[in-house]
A and B are shown apart, each in its own frame.
Chain A
Protein backbone atom coordinates (compact mmCIF):
# COMPACT_ATOMS: atom_id res chain seq x y z
CA UNK A 1 0.00 0.00 0.00
CA UNK A 2 2.72 2.45 1.02
CA UNK A 3 4.69 1.60 -2.11
CA UNK A 4 1.64 2.17 -4.32
CA UNK A 5 0.86 5.50 -2.71
CA UNK A 6 4.49 6.65 -2.95
CA UNK A 7 4.50 5.82 -6.63
CA UNK A 8 1.25 7.74 -7.05
CA UNK A 9 2.76 10.75 -5.29
CA UNK A 10 5.88 10.61 -7.45
CA UNK A 11 3.75 10.62 -10.58
CA UNK A 12 1.91 13.66 -9.24
CA UNK A 13 4.90 15.59 -7.98
CA UNK A 14 3.73 18.74 -9.78
CA UNK A 15 0.43 18.91 -7.82
CA UNK A 16 0.67 21.66 -5.14
CA UNK A 17 -0.68 19.38 -2.36
CA UNK A 18 2.02 16.81 -3.13
CA UNK A 19 4.75 19.43 -3.40
CA UNK A 20 3.81 20.79 0.00
CA UNK A 21 3.76 17.30 1.53
CA UNK A 22 7.22 16.53 0.09
CA UNK A 23 8.62 19.75 1.51
CA UNK A 24 7.18 19.01 4.97
CA UNK A 25 8.58 15.52 5.19
CA UNK A 26 12.09 16.53 4.13
CA UNK A 27 12.17 19.15 6.84
CA UNK A 28 10.89 16.72 9.50
CA UNK A 29 13.36 13.93 8.84
CA UNK A 30 16.37 16.23 8.61
CA UNK A 31 16.20 17.31 12.27
CA UNK A 32 15.77 13.73 13.45
CA UNK A 33 18.92 12.51 11.77
CA UNK A 34 21.05 14.82 13.92
CA UNK A 35 19.97 12.96 17.06
CA UNK A 36 20.14 9.41 15.76
CA UNK A 37 23.52 8.72 17.33
CA UNK A 38 21.73 8.54 20.67
CA UNK A 39 20.06 5.27 19.79
CA UNK A 40 21.60 2.00 20.84
CA UNK A 41 21.59 -0.81 18.28
CA UNK A 42 19.07 -2.78 20.33
CA UNK A 43 16.60 0.10 20.93
CA UNK A 44 12.96 -0.85 20.34
CA UNK A 45 9.87 1.38 20.01
CA UNK A 46 8.15 -0.68 22.72
CA UNK A 47 10.84 0.41 25.22
CA UNK A 48 8.98 3.72 25.56
CA UNK A 49 5.80 2.09 26.89
CA UNK A 50 7.81 -0.12 29.25
CA UNK A 51 9.75 2.87 30.56
CA UNK A 52 6.62 4.97 30.94
CA UNK A 53 4.65 2.31 32.78
CA UNK A 54 7.56 1.38 35.08
CA UNK A 55 6.86 4.57 37.03
CA UNK A 56 10.32 5.05 38.55
CA UNK A 57 10.46 8.75 38.09
CA UNK A 58 10.88 9.96 41.65
CA UNK A 59 13.27 12.78 42.27
CA UNK A 60 16.56 11.80 43.94
CA UNK A 61 16.25 11.97 47.70
CA UNK A 62 17.88 14.92 49.42
CA UNK A 63 20.72 14.22 51.85
CA UNK A 64 18.35 14.81 54.77
CA UNK A 65 15.86 12.31 53.38
CA UNK A 66 18.58 9.74 52.70
CA UNK A 67 19.77 10.00 56.27
CA UNK A 68 16.31 9.80 57.74
CA UNK A 69 15.83 13.54 58.25
Chain B
Protein backbone atom coordinates (compact mmCIF):
# COMPACT_ATOMS: atom_id res chain seq x y z
CA UNK B 1 0.00 0.00 0.00
CA UNK B 2 1.31 3.45 -0.93
CA UNK B 3 0.69 6.55 1.15
CA UNK B 4 1.05 10.34 1.02
CA UNK B 5 2.42 10.70 4.53
CA UNK B 6 5.71 12.32 3.47
CA UNK B 7 3.97 14.93 1.28
CA UNK B 8 1.33 15.72 3.91
CA UNK B 9 4.00 16.02 6.57
CA UNK B 10 6.10 18.32 4.39
CA UNK B 11 3.04 20.53 3.68
CA UNK B 12 2.68 21.06 7.42
CA UNK B 13 6.43 21.42 7.94
CA UNK B 14 6.47 18.56 10.43
CA UNK B 15 9.48 16.32 10.99
CA UNK B 16 9.02 12.57 11.38
CA UNK B 17 9.54 13.05 15.12
CA UNK B 18 6.80 15.73 15.21
CA UNK B 19 4.34 13.39 13.54
CA UNK B 20 5.44 10.49 15.77
CA UNK B 21 4.74 12.65 18.82
CA UNK B 22 1.25 13.52 17.54
CA UNK B 23 0.53 9.84 16.88
CA UNK B 24 2.16 8.60 20.09
CA UNK B 25 4.39 6.17 18.20
CA UNK B 26 8.15 6.03 17.67
CA UNK B 27 9.88 7.95 14.87
CA UNK B 28 11.01 4.61 13.42
CA UNK B 29 7.33 3.63 13.07
CA UNK B 30 6.56 6.80 11.10
CA UNK B 31 9.58 6.16 8.88
CA UNK B 32 8.55 2.54 8.22
CA UNK B 33 5.00 3.60 7.32
CA UNK B 34 6.21 6.48 5.15
CA UNK B 35 8.57 4.28 3.15
CA UNK B 36 5.80 1.70 2.65
CA UNK B 37 7.67 -1.00 4.55
CA UNK B 38 4.98 -1.26 7.19
CA UNK B 39 1.23 -0.93 6.77
CA UNK B 40 -0.39 0.49 9.92
CA UNK B 41 -3.31 -1.18 11.67
CA UNK B 42 -6.77 0.26 11.11
CA UNK B 43 -6.81 2.12 14.47
CA UNK B 44 -3.44 3.73 13.71
CA UNK B 45 -4.55 4.59 10.16
CA UNK B 46 -7.61 6.33 11.63
CA UNK B 47 -5.36 8.21 14.07
CA UNK B 48 -3.18 9.33 11.14
CA UNK B 49 -6.28 10.47 9.26
CA UNK B 50 -7.45 12.44 12.31
CA UNK B 51 -4.04 14.13 12.72
CA UNK B 52 -4.09 15.28 9.08
CA UNK B 53 -7.86 15.97 9.17
CA UNK B 54 -8.31 13.94 5.97
CA UNK B 55 -10.24 10.79 5.04
CA UNK B 56 -8.11 7.62 5.15
CA UNK B 57 -8.44 7.04 1.40
CA UNK B 58 -6.79 10.41 0.72
CA UNK B 59 -3.74 9.29 2.68
CA UNK B 60 -3.42 5.58 1.88
CA UNK B 61 -3.69 4.33 -1.69
CA UNK B 62 -4.29 0.67 -2.39
CA UNK B 63 -2.01 -0.12 -5.33
CA UNK B 64 -4.33 -2.79 -6.73
CA UNK B 65 -7.25 -0.35 -6.80
CA UNK B 66 -5.05 2.26 -8.46
CA UNK B 67 -3.97 -0.22 -11.13
CA UNK B 68 -7.59 -1.20 -11.78
CA UNK B 69 -8.58 2.48 -12.12
CA UNK B 70 -5.78 3.03 -14.63
CA UNK B 71 -6.96 0.16 -16.86
Partners in one complex: no
